Amino acid sequence: MRRGRLSDVPLLIAVLGREHGEYFAERLRVQQRAGIGEVLIAFADEHPVGAVFAFWGKAEEKEFRALRRGVPLLYHFEVPAHLRNRGIGTQLLLKAEQRLRSKGHTQVALGVDESNKDARRLYERLGYELALGNLGVPDGGTEHDRYDILVADLERTLPFDPARPRRRHRPMARAGVRVAVAGLRSLRIPAWTSVLGTFRRTTG
């Protein structure tokens, strides 16, 4: 995983679709340039296999600002549909947390749609706990758009070893996808289930 660059945008659009690619392009141009966020991208063989936006500016949710001032948020987890269920999302999340720890943060938050039970189970299994519930999306959002914010300590002990498969739903050829992590040796991700939901709310 490495910090995104504007030159990555065509690849992000090709792999994730125009809507998601343009979302990350806007964050690169505005928040990352302003020093209040980073687009983080996981790569396999020089091609994006996932992306997330880490934001430590002023959160939109005033309730969250009052409760957890200064806690960064992770937005818009994206893994291509054909690469899901291979652990990429979990490793992307953990590497984003590692990046935030290196910047001196002690907690992290993320949003999950109330309807996305699979994502919630994953986050809770990774040690995330409810901080604020039943929030609504502004500007004409519907009941389906309601979401919760979960928080985790960045120094927590994980309840399992993320490097080992938890269970397999289908056989995979050899090991999983190899992801290049900036500053580290390539990381081979095991083929195990991790379904991340998309949290599409914008920031700033």
Residues 53 and 23: their CA atoms lie apart, in Å, by: 9
Q: Given this model, what pLDDT does residue 103 score? A: 94
Q: How far apart are CA 52 and CA 56, in angstroms?
A: 13
Query: Residue 168 corresponds to which tokens in the numbers above?
Result: 């397999």
Question: Which is more confident, 177 or 121?
Answer: 121
Q: What is the DSSP string of 159-183?
A: SS-TTS-S--SS--SSS--EEB-TT
Q: Which of 96, 118, 91 is nearest to 109 (CA)?
A: 96
Q: Can you give the pLDDT at residue 164?
A: 62
pLDDT tens, position by position, 129-157: 999 888 876 555 555 578 999 999 999 98
Q: pLDDT per residue over 35-72, tens digit each?
A: 999 999 999 988 999 999 999 999 888 888 888 889 99
Percentage above 90 pLDDT, the chain:
51
120 CB-near residues (< 8 Å, 6+ apart): 112, 148, 150, 197
pLDDT value of position 141: 52
pLDDT at 144: 56
CB-CB contact of 72 with 105 (8 Å): yes
- Residue 115 above 90 pLDDT? no
In which band, very low, low, confident or very high, does the pLDDT at 24 lie, cut at 50, 70 and 90?
A: very high
Domains of the chain: 2-188 (3.40.630.30)
